[in-house]
Amino acid sequence: MKKLKKIWPLILVVLGLSFFGLYKFLKTSVNPGLFDRNDRYIRVYNYKSEKIKPKRSKVKEINLEFIYDDKAAVPDGLTWSEDLRSDIGPYDGGDVILHAVLEDGSKIRISLQKAFRLGPTFSRDLDRNDELEEKMLPRFPKFSTEYNRNYSYAYFSGMMYVGDALYQAPKTEAVTRFDLKNPKTGKLQTYYEYGYLPEKTDSPVYLKTKKDVSQADMQSFYDDYHDSWKGYWDRGVDSIPKELTSTYPYQFHYYKWFYSDSLSNLPLKIDLTGSEFKTIVTRTQLIKPDQNDQMKVRTATKTYTEKNKGEYVQEVLGKLREFKDINDLARYEKEHK
């Protein structure tokens, strides 16, 4: 009995450690949700983090799209056709969008109003970049820059040639790749998250969300992978919080989960390696939204090459400020009529 009393504390310690080890094993390796009343945990497959290796690609096709407000004045002499669009909305008047086809056949779409720290975007280094401007201006010797430099991203995109290279200039260090299984299709879907390198872990990684989330809401998240024109899920505006269990509060990660490792996921710069001027300009005017969350528009296109480069300078490059003023005026008149 005396011996038992002596070893009893040791037995309690061993039992405590055993129960703690079992608890930790169940929580990290079997099902963390067993001990969490509020959250549910969804298995993550093929989790991998690594430092970013910046990519680059040459441009095969360039299309600059100018979005006009429904009340904005548009250029004369255009032939219009109507269409329905899901990638633009009623407040996009005044935006300029670069649509480009890369040498591998992939496509990118970049709004040229502002630059951000995560794509799709150009690098903020392009804003009033005198060095780049000095290199590009000889391509358009008759172009006056006096009134256009405030629109740097449209300005430099408008002076690109076919064959120019776009290359990534990341503002963060790491990319994490992981797969989730779509319950409806049973297939894995690959996501890309950018931020700092997470701490190494031997434990399985899970997608953590709220337990009371309906299956329909979660399915809409999975289905967006194929339905979205944006190519990413923005957790910053998601009413249903989602995060990986490998993400710690003090480790910074951007809110976007991209559906591919597209070149435009990270801020881009321009390398002037091209020699052919060919740009399609699309004028798109908003008409009205329809009942299916699409936008009814009318569009007109014109292709510019070396043969009509003078027209391009006069009609496009030289009228960036006028385009903005026209749309600002249209919005002002609608708000104050």
78 lies in a domain? yes
Specify the 3-state DSSP secondary structure of 25: helix
Residue-level pLDDT at 240: 86
258 lies in a domain? no
305 lies in a domain? yes
112 lies in a domain? yes
231 lies in a domain? no
83 lies in a domain? yes
- C-alpha 318/C-alpha 143 separation (Å) is 7
Across the beta sheet with 206-210, the strand order is 39-43, 206-210, 243-244
Q: Kindly tell me if the per-residue pLDDT of 2 is higher than 80.
A: no
255 lies in a domain? no
Residue-level pLDDT at 19: 44
- Per-residue pLDDT reduced to its tens digit, 295-318: 999 999 999 999 999 999 999 999
Q: Kindly tell me if the per-residue pLDDT of 20 is higher than 50.
A: no
Q: Kindly tell me if the per-residue pLDDT of 10 is higher than 60.
A: no
Mean pLDDT of 167-190: 95
- C-alpha 337/C-alpha 334 separation (Å) is 6
Cis peptide before 141 (omega within 30 of 0): no
Looking at the structure of the chain, the number of domains it has is 1
Give the structural domain span for 88.
56-170+266-322+328-332
- Per-residue pLDDT reduced to its tens digit, 166-178: 999 998 999 999 9
pLDDT greater at residue 272 or residue 237: 272
Lowest-confidence pick of 33-37, 207-211, 237-241: 33-37
Residue-level pLDDT at 251: 58
Residues 6+ apart with CB under 8 A from 19: none
Tokens of 172: 């963060």
Residue-level pLDDT at 18: 46
259 lies in a domain? no
Angle at 59 between CA 312 and CA 144, to 5 degrees: 30
